[in-house]
Structure 1
Amino acid sequence: MSPDSLITHFVGASALVLVAAHAAGWLARRLKQPYIVGQLSAGIALGPSLLGSLAPEAYATLFPAAIGPALTGFAQLALVVFLFAVGYELDLKILGDRARTSLTVALASFVVPMAVGCGGALLFREQLHELGMPRDPSPAMVVFAGIALSITAVPVLTAIVRENELSRSVPGVVAVSAAGVLDAVCWTVLAGALMDGGGDGAALDWPWRVVLAVGFVTVMVLAARPLLRRLLWRTRLEPSLRLALLIGFALGSAWVTHSLGLHVIFGALLAGVVVPREEGGTLDPDLLRPLHDVSSLLLPFFFVVSGQSVALNSMDGTGWAVLLAVTVLAVVTKIGSGTLAARLGGLDRHEARTVGVLLSARGLTELIALDAGLQAGLLSPQLYTVLVFMALATTLFTQPLLLLTRRLADRDPARRPAPVPSASPPAQDGRTAPADLG
C-alpha cells in the first residue's frame, strides 16, 4: 500500500470511528446508559466479529491491516491522556468524615472478588483451558483473574453518581471515595502481575524491573513533583504551553514504564498523580478541561482497537457458560461485599445496597486492564472476549439495579415520612380542639 493510499484509508477509518462511536454514545445516554456503553458497542460492531463477518469486503476496505499500527498509536495516546487526567483528579482527601467506612468498603470490595477470581481460575482450569488458557496457569494469570473481578471504573461510577444526583449523598460519597482507594490498590496489584508475567519484549528479569520501577517512582515523587510545582506556580505559562508540557511529561513517563515491561497506563497514571494542584489544592480548569476534551475525542480509537481483539466466532457453549458464570460472580461479589461492608460502616440497608450497586460498574477501567493483560499474554483471545462482555454487562446492569434499589427504598414504610396531623377544627367555644393522636 502506497503512503498516499495509507493516509486515505486512515483518514476514512478515523472519520467512521469518531462519528460511529460518538453517535452510539449519544444514543446510549438517551437510553439512560453511560456514554462508554455506546462507544464500546460501536467498537465491537466495527470489529471483525460483526462488520468483518457481515461485510468482509467493506471491513477490509475500511480497516486494512496496514493502518493497524496507526490506530493502535492513537489508542495508546488516548489512554495516556485519559489516565493522566484520572491521576491528576485522584484525591483521597475526599474520604473526609467517612474515611473509615470508605476504607472498609474498598478493602472488602477488593478482597472478596479477588479471592473469588483467583479461586475460580484454579478450580475451573479445565473450562478455561477450553478457552485457550494454559492447563496450569501461572501465578500472574491467577492474580489477573482476581483483578478482573475486583476493578471498579471510577470515571463511569462518577458519571452515574452525578447523573443520579447522588454526588452529595452519603452513598455517593462513600462509593466514589472507596472506588478511588480500590482503583489505586488494583493498579498496584496489576503492575505486580504484569511484572511477574513478563510483558512482551521485556529484556530484564522481574526483580530488576521491580527495583527500577521503585526507583522511577521515587524520582517522580521526590524530584519531578517539586520541579513541576516550581515551574507551574512560579512561572506563568500560557495554558496551551502548560498543557503541551504536561502531556509531553505524561508521554515520557508512559514510555519509561513501558520500557520497564509494564504498560503505558502506569506511567500516565503516575504522571497525573505527581502533577501538583493549584496552591489552594484545587484542580486547574485550564488543564483539566482540554484533557477531558482530547481524551473524549480520541478514546473511540481505543474502543475500536479493543473491538478488533473481540472474537465472537470463538464463543461456543463453553464460552457462553463461562461468560454467564463470570458475570454472575462479578455482580454478586461486588454488590455483596460492598453492601455488607457499608452496612457494617453504619449505613442503613438501602444506602449500603446503593453503594454495592455503584461499585459493580467496571466500564473503561476494566477494558484498559484487559487490554494490558492481553498484550502481556495473561489472557487468551477467547477469555479476553468473555471478560470484555462481562465488563459491558456489569456496566449495563448498574443503572437498572440502581433504579430498583431506589424503588425498594421508596416502598419501605420505615423510610416514609410520618404523616403531618391535619389541623383540627376550632371547638365550639373558640378554642382549638386537641389533635387526633389515634
Structure 2
Amino acid sequence: MHMTTTEVFLIAIAIIFSVPYLVWRIFKTDYYAPLVVVQIMMGIVLGPGVLGKYFPAYFDFVFNKEVVQSLSGIAWWGVMIFVCVAGVELDLKRTWQNRKESGLTAGLALGVPLVLGGIVAAAMLNYPGWIGAKGQNWQFVVGMGMSCAVTALPILILLMEKLEMLRTPMGQRILRYASLDDIAIWGVLAIVMMDWIRIGRQAAFLLLFVVATWGFRRLMQALDERDRWYIAVIWLAIVAFGADWSGLHYMVGAFLAGVVMDAHWFSEEKLDNLRRDLLLVMMPVYFLSTGLKTNFDVGGLAVFLVAAVLLVVSVVGKLAGVHLAGRILKWGRGEASFIGWLLQTKALIMIIFVNVLLDKEIISNTTFTALLLMAVGSTMLSIPRVSPMLKRDPELVQRDV
C-alpha cells in the first residue's frame, strides 16, 4: 500500500512521542531517568545504530529523506527557541553581585573537566575515525573538553524543580554557577566555529548585533508584555539568521538573541510554561533527529569504551573542581558534593553543543555517539546521588554563601 509523505510523517511523529512516554511510564524511570533523558535514549534506539541496523526496511520507510527533512525543520526551530529561553533565564545581574564566589566556582567547575576531557581528546587523535573530516586538531580537543565540562542549565532547572529547591538559597547559588558556565560554553563554541575565511562577515554580524541590541532593548522596554513575545520571536529569527550567515552557526545566534533580553520583561510563569511546552511538543522531535545521527561504525565496544572514559573524566573533573572551590571558599560540610553532583546534568545543552560540532564536521558520527552516551549517563547520576543527601540533611538547600 502506497502512503503519502504526510501519512508517513504522522507515523514517525506517533512513534517519536509514544515510545519514550510508554517506556517512562511503564518502567517508572523518573528517579534515574526523567522523561527528557528517556527521550534522548529512545532517539538513539530509533536511530540507524539500533533500529536501522536490525530493521533497515522499516527504518528506511518511516525515516525516509522527505520525512527527515520535515522533522529537521521542526527540530531546528524548537531548539532555537529553547536555547533562546535559556539565554533569557540567565540572571547576569545577580551573578555579577556575587562575581568573586560565582566566578571562582564556575571557573573551576568548568576548567578542570575541560582540561581532563581535552587530554582524552588529544589521545583520541592518535586513532582514526574520531575527528571529523573538516576538524582541526585544536577544535577537536577544545570541543571535546568543553563537552565534558558542560552543565545543562534548562535540565538543571527541571531537576531542581523536581527536588523542590529551585527558589531556595542553594538553588539560586547553583543557578549562578551554571549560568556562568553557560555563557562560557557559547563563547567557546563561537571561537571553535570561527571561520577565518568569513572573518569579515563575522565581524560585521557582531558589530550589527551590538548596534541592533541597543535599539531592540529600547523597543522592548517601551512595549507591553503581549507585544514583547511577538517581537522576541522575530528578533530570534533575525539574529539566528545573521549568526548562521556569518558562519558562527544559528545556535550561537539563538543564545545571543536570548541573553540580551531581561527575564523580568516576561512573566516568570509564562517562561516556565513555555520551556515545559517546548519539552512536551517540540524537543522530542529534536531528540529523534539527534538519534538519527548516531553511528557505531568504529566498533560498538570502542564507542562504549570511549563513552565510559569520557564519563569518568567528566564526573571526576566536575567534582574535583567544585570541591577545590569549596575548600578555597570554606563551604560547609556536604555542600561541594551536593553542588558537584547537580552540576553533572549535561543532556540538552551538551547535545546541542555536539550537534553543532557534528554539523561542522569537527567530530565524526562515532564520536558524536560516544558523547551522547556520556551525556545521558552523566545526567542520570544527578538525582540518585543528591536525593539521599537531601534526606540526610534537609537544611542543605537553605545554605547561602
Cα distance, 1:407 vs. partner?
6.6
Q: 1:356-367 residue pairs with structure 2 within 5 A?
A: 356-367=340-351
Cα distance, 1:339 vs. partner?
2.2
Letter in 1 for 2:10: V
Contact kept in structure 1, 2:345 and 2:382, CA below 8 Å: yes
Computing the radius of gyration from Cα coordinates, the structure with the larger value is: 1
- Specify which of 325, 330, 343 is matched with residue 327 of structure 2: 343
User: Percent identity at matched positions?
Assistant: 24
Alpha-carbon distance in structure 1 between the residues aligned to 2:172 and 2:20: 30
Aligned to 2:59: 59
CA 1:52 to 1:339, structure 2 compared with 1: closer, same or farther past 3 Å? same
Q: 1:396-407 residue pairs with structure 2 within 5 A?
A: 396-406=380-390
Cα distance, 1:92 vs. partner?
2.3
- The more displaced of 252-261 and 175-184 is 252-261
Letter in 1 for 2:240: A
SS at match of 1:360: coil
Cα distance, 1:144 vs. partner?
0.8
SS at match of 2:66: helix
Letter in 1 for 2:218: P
Alpha-carbon distance in structure 2 between the residues aligned to 1:220 and 1:333: 39
Alpha-carbon distance in structure 1 between the residues aligned to 2:135 and 2:39: 36
Q: 1:257-276 residue pairs with structure 2 within 5 A?
A: 257-276=243-262
Alpha-carbon distance in structure 1 between the residues aligned to 2:238 and 2:79: 14
CA 1:293 to 1:319, structure 2 compared with 1: closer, same or farther past 3 Å? closer
Cα distance, 1:46 vs. partner?
1.4
Aligned to 1:207: 199
Alpha-carbon distance in structure 2 between the residues aligned to 1:292 and 1:362: 18
- Specify which of 231, 235, 252 is matched with residue 249 of structure 1: 235
Letter in 2 for 1:118: G
- Specify which of 317, 321, 340 is matched with residue 305 of structure 2: 321
* Per-residue CA distance 1:58-87 (angstroms, 9 max, x = gap): 222211122221111111011111112112
Letter in 2 for 1:216: L
Cα distance, 1:28 vs. partner?
6.0
Aligned to 1:8: 7
Contact kept in structure 2, 1:171 and 1:354, CA below 8 Å: no
SS at match of 1:300: helix
SS at match of 1:30: coil
* Per-residue CA distance 1:248-301 (angstroms, 9 max, x = gap): 3212221111111122212222222233444xx664544653454245311011
Does residue 145 in structure 1 map to residue 129 in structure 2?
Answer: no
Alpha-carbon distance in structure 2 between the residues aligned to 1:316 and 1:160: 31
Does residue 172 in structure 1 map to residue 171 in structure 2?
Answer: yes
Structure 1: which 5+ residue stretches go unaligned?
A: 199-203, 411-438
* Per-residue CA distance 1:11-42 (angstroms, 9 max, x = gap): 22122212234444556663453331111012
Letter in 1 for 2:207: G
Q: 1:24-423 residue pairs with structure 2 within 5 A?
A: 24=23, 30-95=30-95, 98-127=98-127, 129-131=128-130, 137-195=136-194, 198=195, 205-230=197-222, 232-233=223-224, 239=226, 242-278=228-264, 283=267, 285-286=269-270, 289-290=273-274, 292-312=276-296, 314-406=298-390
Contact kept in structure 2, 1:89 and 1:283, CA below 8 Å: no
Letter in 1 for 2:383: Q
CA 1:91 to 1:405, structure 2 compared with 1: closer, same or farther past 3 Å? same
SS at match of 1:349: coil
Contact kept in structure 2, 1:34 and 1:159, CA below 8 Å: no
CA 1:29 to 1:323, structure 2 compared with 1: closer, same or farther past 3 Å? closer
Give the TM-score taking structure 2 as reference length.
0.88
CA 1:346 to 1:168, structure 2 compared with 1: closer, same or farther past 3 Å? farther
Letter in 2 for 1:82: F
CA 1:274 to 1:28, structure 2 compared with 1: closer, same or farther past 3 Å? farther
Contact kept in structure 1, 2:124 and 2:130, CA below 8 Å: no
Contact kept in structure 2, 1:342 and 1:355, CA below 8 Å: no
SS at match of 2:164: coil
Alpha-carbon distance in structure 2 between the residues aligned to 1:62 and 1:270: 36
Cα distance, 1:140 vs. partner?
1.8
CA 1:163 to 1:383, structure 2 compared with 1: closer, same or farther past 3 Å? same
Cα distance, 1:90 vs. partner?
1.5
Contact kept in structure 1, 2:45 and 2:291, CA below 8 Å: yes
SS at match of 1:48: coil
CA 1:275 to 1:406, structure 2 compared with 1: closer, same or farther past 3 Å? closer
Alpha-carbon distance in structure 2 between the residues aligned to 1:152 and 1:381: 22
Alpha-carbon distance in structure 2 between the residues aligned to 1:243 and 1:214: 24
Give the TM-score taking structure 1 as reference length.
0.81
* Per-residue CA distance 1:344-392 (angstroms, 9 max, x = gap): 2231230111111111111110000010000011101111111010001
Contact kept in structure 2, 1:250 and 1:272, CA below 8 Å: yes
Q: How many residue pairs were aligned? A: 392
Cα distance, 1:112 vs. partner?
1.4
Alpha-carbon distance in structure 1 between the residues aligned to 2:335 and 2:94: 18
SS at match of 1:126: coil
SS at match of 1:259: helix
Contact kept in structure 1, 2:129 and 2:366, CA below 8 Å: no
Higher normalized contact order (CA 8 Å, seq sep 6+, divided by chain length):
2
Structure 2: which 5+ residue stretches go unaligned?
A: 395-401
Cα distance, 1:220 vs. partner?
3.4
* Per-residue CA distance 1:149-190 (angstroms, 9 max, x = gap): 111001111222222233355543322110001100111111
Cα distance, 1:91 vs. partner?
1.0
Alpha-carbon distance in structure 2 between the residues aligned to 1:48 and 1:211: 39
